[in-house]
Chains A and B, each alone.
Chain A
Amino acid sequence: MAQSKPYIISFSSGKGGVGKTTVAVNLGLSLSQSTNRVLLIDGDLGLANVDVVLGLSVRHTIRETVQEGRALSDTLIRITKDFFVLPASSGVPEMTRLSVQEQELLLGALEEDAREFDYVLVDTAAGIGESVLWFNNWVGSHCIIFSPDPTSLTDAYALIKVLTTRYGKDNFYLIVNQVNSGREGQEIFVNMERVLSQFLDIHPQYLGAIPRDNAVVRAIRKQRPFLETEPGSKAGRALCRVCDNLVEALRV
């Protein structure tokens, strides 16, 4: 069933270090290049990373909305004409354990601001902690990013199992990152899909694979999106295909 705008999508992984934030940032940029208004929310409320990946100097964060009532719109950072980021705080442990009231306040404010955008991406923390679960409960679609590493496969599967079993979620899109080839990504997806289908009766959609590429490493060191620094790289081209597939999957 086609969803309506704004499309609100989480980016989660289970395991950390699989490139979730890098993919989310570059996908956000890619979506905005097609004249979509895109908001990327840093959902890692206690250990933010989006600002680091983008080399931003952040003055205000989501923390001030939750703790001081500051308007989210005053915290937004404009990256390009149509790409905005809502940064979170780093080194603030209390932000990882918001009360139900604080969650409601934050999600209410986010819902208000989301109306101004075509796509709202939520880059969640790694793991299956509270904020990962309630952010995922809020959104309608879930991008799960994982690598060929067995620990990453297990953690991604465990996250999907929790979201399915506890929250009745079934709208999953899978991205395999850091693969050696497109074929490897496809085979890993097919295997994951088979296990999800067999044990959870879940049928995720495949958005594609992004290869290991030094262009990504170089961009991370420059604190810039690889889609901006080396758009013609293997990773850049793969990311654009993933973006096209995501747009199509959400539209259909």
Chain B
Amino acid sequence: MAPRKKAEALFEKLEEDAVQYPVEYIRLTDGKDWWQGVLCYDTSIPDARKNFLIATFARLSGHETEGKKNSLARKDSCQVSPEERAQLFSFLKSGAE
């Protein structure tokens, strides 16, 4: 099965299994890492829901979702860091001096 179709099939199954926890998701990519973006949620997601999704996703995809090599870590990796912010604002501060 093509990666994208495989991802979509996985997601449909995930949705079926998550009846009482509507899954937030984004359009799947055609990239090598085909399952990226399947799980997409804000860091403010309640722990109970997050744990449910992690477990379901791991069961259906076969991907371990603990540690840094999971989609949750990927989601967190999009967070703008304090270092990035400091650099973004450095121009404004130097301009104000």
Contact = CB atoms under 8 A, between A and B. Distances in A.
Interface of A: 100, 103, 130, 133-134, 137-138, 148, 150, 153-154, 157-158, 161-162, 165-168, 187-188, 190-192, 194-195, 198-199
Contacts of B20: none
B46 interface: no
B29 interface: yes
Interface of B: 8, 11, 24-29, 31, 36-37, 74, 77-78, 80-81, 83-85, 87-92, 95
28 contacts: A100-B11, A100-B25, A100-B27, A103-B27, A130-B24, A130-B26, A133-B27, A134-B26, A137-B27, A148-B92, A150-B92, A153-B88, A157-B84, A157-B88, A158-B80, A161-B78, A165-B74, A165-B77, A166-B26, A167-B29, A168-B29, A168-B31, A187-B91, A190-B91, A191-B88, A194-B87, A195-B84, A198-B87
Contacts of B26: 130, 133-134, 137, 166
Contacts, number: 68
Given A133-B26, A166-B29, A195-B84, A153 B89 contact: yes
A192 B78 contact: no
A102 to B, nearest CB: 11
A199 B83 CA distance: 9
Contacts of A199: 81, 83-84, 87
B27 to A, nearest CB: 3
A130 B26 CA distance: 6
A138 B81 CA distance: 27
Nearest to B89: A150
Nearest to A192: B88
Contact of B88 (A133, A190, A195): A195
Given A157-B80, A187-B91, A166 B11 contact: no
Given A100-B11, A137-B27, A191 B78 contact: no
Given A137-B27, A166-B26, A199-B84, 6 more contacts: A100-B8, A150-B88, A153-B89, A166-B74, A166-B78, A195-B88
A128 to B, nearest CB: 9
The 3 closest A-B pairs by CB, nearest first: A134-B27, A191-B91, A195-B87
User: Which of B31, B36, B92 has most chain A Cβ within 10 Å?
Assistant: B92
